[in-house]
Each structure stands twice: as structure tokens, then as C-alpha cells.
């Protein structure tokens, strides 16, 4: 049965149509991003790839544990690979999920001790030998989601009365991150933190869900609101660096994932885009009427935001994966 939602659903075909249809889309996009920071996007032509990725995700998590541990993230200074159940932390607490992370497929960056540590984020992915189809399919999906993100960033620029290419330079080679996730079910007596409440880093996040709900967003006046899967749509939310760039006109919103009930496994694919690591977040010069509606970027003393992108990305990776940090980063500092 088709689920319903109180969040906006935007059809990207309206953006591409131009004229009045495009202008209406831009107005709805700006309103959704300013008021809640979460919305659905349909009309994206990703459905076939989505199905292939979700099927391969289930096959990956069904692999024997030794196959998954052969590509365990702790082996990678670039934070790529498999993370065991409760191996990632949010707000210092373990999340009830297992996952597989990739970024762009790149050679390992060459740097010395005088260079910033975030250069170590650049490098190759790990791929399971038992599932060779995963690499080309997941990389293809990552490229397709990158293209959709660039389209949406251009639309945000126009909605904020900026040049449409104002983000183009620092997303010419963006930092992309794709995460396959399995949330095993549990009874109601235990900890329900599939993922703890948090805001996403970077510019934008695009989430592909299976048929099971679990994602929730903290909405003004309404509290925690379900973000159920909608057929043919992906979920998009604003990241902290886009909030920073827009002086808080575009909102990064707290969200979480609740563990599914016992006997149910929930699968999703989360895709994150930040500007390229060696860039800084641009500060948009908003017109007066829009600036008056901007709330200013949120301030969290436990999670300071940096304008330098690589520094910001590495901060989040180190906090979420202390085992990788200990194996590849903290020892360098000592």
C-alpha cells in the first residue's frame, strides 16, 4: 500500500520544464528547505539503479561474516569498507546497524607530515571479492546521485537569487560518500537507536529506502515525524555546510532512525555530498528580503563547524569511527 507523508514532494521534471513550472518548483524548494530541511524528490529516473543497489545490498549483508570482515573499515585509513553491528557511534552511542561505505574511487593521496591530515581521506575503496557486481553498480549509482545533487544545488542557487553556478567550482570534484545500511529488528524492550539524532555534514544527503519505515525528522511544532518510503521518490535533506553557506536560510535538521520491530530487517542507501576537500564553504550574499528570513547557522559547542571542508569532514569521521581513528590517525599525532 502506498504510504503518505506530511513532507513536501517535489518533482524534478518541473525544474527541467523551465518557465513558470520551473519558477513554481524553485519556490517550493526554497520553502521546503527553509522550513523543515527535508523533502522528497520524484521524477529522477533512478528507479532501475535503485532496485539493483538495494538487491545487491541485501546480498552483501547476507555474505558470511569472514567475507565482510575481509573489507572491514578499520583496514582503511580512508574510512571505506564494512562496519560491524553497533560499530559506528552517533552522539557517542553505538548505532544498531551494520553498513558498507564507499567514496570516490581514487588512488591514495601522497602527503607528508606537514600536510593536513584530511588528505588521508583520499584513496581507494575496499570491495568484497565474493560480490564483484557490487563495484560497478554502486559506483554508477553514486555518479547518478552526484548528478542529481549538482542539479539541486544549481536550483538552490537560483531560488536564493544567486548565479546558478555559484556552487559549481567547489563541487567540480566533490567529496561523495555512499553507505549501504542494514537495520536488524528488535523487540521494544531494548535500545531503539538505529541511528541517534543528528544533523548531516556536507551539502546534501539523498536517501533511498526499502519498504519499511524508520527514518524520522524533528519538525517544528510537530516533534518527531515519520519519513516513510514513497514509491519512485528519494528523500533529500540539507547538510550543515549548506546551512552555513546560506546563513541558516537553508536548514540542516535533526533526524534519526528507529530500529524496526523484531523479525524485520530494514535496508537503506544514504548518499552524502560535500564540496571538494581542499575548498572552503562559500558564503552567499543573500538579498535583503531573504536575509531577513535566515536564522543564522546553528551553533553546537560539541560540534563546531569549520569553513575548511576537509577539516570539517575529517572531524565527523573521527568521531563516528574511533577504531579507524585509533588505527590510522591518533598514532600519527603521537
Q: What is the pLDDT of residues 87-133, one digit of tens each?
A: 999 989 999 999 999 999 999 988 888 889 999 999 999 999 999 99
- Confidence at residue 331, expressed as pLDDT on a 0 to 100 scale: 59
Q: pLDDT band for position 303 (50/70/90)?
A: low
C-alpha cell at 217: 525528522
Min mean pLDDT across 66-70, 125-129, 166-170 is at 166-170
Separation in Å, CA 71 to CA 68, 91, 107, 112, 151? 6, 25, 17, 26, 33
To the nearest 10 degrees (0 to 180), the angle between helices 134-159 and 19-35 is: 100
Residues 6+ apart with CB under 8 A from 19: none
What's the distance, CA 134 to chain centroid?
19
Domains in the chain with CATH codes: 9-333 (2.60.120.330)
Q: What is the pTM of this model?
A: 0.95
**For the segment 202-247, what is each residue's pLDDT rounded down to a tens digit?**
999 999 999 999 999 999 888 999 999 999 899 999 999 999 999 9
| Cα 154-138-117 angle, rounded to 5 deg | 75
First to last CA, the chain: 56
How far is 182 from 180, CA to CA, in rounded Å?
7
Amino acid at each position: 500500500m502506498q504510504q503518505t507523508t506530511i513532507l513536501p514532494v517535489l518533482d524534478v521534471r518541473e525544474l527541467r520544464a523551465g518557465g513558470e513550472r520551473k519558477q513554481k518548483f524553485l519556490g517550493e524548494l526554497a520553502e521546503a528547505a527553509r522550513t523543515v530541511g527535508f523533502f522528497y524528490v520524484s521524477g529522477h529516473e533512478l528507479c532501475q539503479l535503485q532496485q539493483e543497489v538495494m538487491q545487491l545490498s541485501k546480498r552483501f549483508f547476507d555474505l558470511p561474516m569472514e567475507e565482510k570482515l575481509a573489507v572491514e573499515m578499520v583496514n582503511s585509513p580512508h574510512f571505506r569498507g564494512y562496519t560491524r553491528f553497533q560499530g559506528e557511534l552517533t552522539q557517542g552511542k553505538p548505532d544498531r546497524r551494520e553498513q558498507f561505505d564507499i567514496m570516490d574511487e581514487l588512488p591514495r593521496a601522497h602527503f607528508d607530515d606537514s600536510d593536513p591530515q584530511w588528505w588521508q581521506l583520499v584513496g581507494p575503496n575496499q570491495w568484497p571479492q565474493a560480490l564483484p557486481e557490487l563495484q560497478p553498480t554502486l559506483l554508477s549509482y553514486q555518479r547518478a546521485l552526484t548528478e542529481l545533487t549538482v542539479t539541486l544545488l544549481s536550483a538552490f542557487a537560483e531560488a536564493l537569487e544567486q548565479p546558478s553556478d555559484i556552487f559549481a567550482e567547489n563541487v567540480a570534484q566533490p567529496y561523495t560518500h555512499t553507505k549501504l545500511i542494514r537495520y536488524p529488528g528488535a523487540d521494544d524492550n531494548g535500545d531503539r537507536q538505529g541511528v541517534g539524532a543528528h544533523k548531516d555534514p556536507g551539502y546534501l544527503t539523498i536517501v533511498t529506502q526499502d519498504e519499511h519505515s524508520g527514518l524520522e525528522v524533528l519538525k517544528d511544532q510537530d516533534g518527531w515525524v515519520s519519513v516513510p518510503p514513497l514509491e519512485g521518490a528519494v528523500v533529500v535533506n540539507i547538510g550543515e555546510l549548506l546551512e552555513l553557506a546560506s546563513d541558516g536560510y537553508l536548514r540542516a535538521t535533526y533526524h534519526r532512525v528507529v530500529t524496526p520491530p523484531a523479525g524485520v530487517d530494514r535496508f537503506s542507501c544514504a548518499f552524502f555530498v560535500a564540496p571538494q576537500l581542499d575548498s572552503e564553504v562559500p558564503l552567499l550574499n543573500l538579498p535583503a528580503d531573504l536575509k531577513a528570513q535566515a536564522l543564522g547557522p546553528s551553533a553546537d559547542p560539541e560540534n563546531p563547524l569549520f569553513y575548511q571542508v576537509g577539516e570539517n569532514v575529517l572531524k565527523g569521521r573521527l568521531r563516528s569511527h574511533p577504531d579507524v581513528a585509533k588505527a590510522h590517525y591518533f598514532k600519527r599525532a603521537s
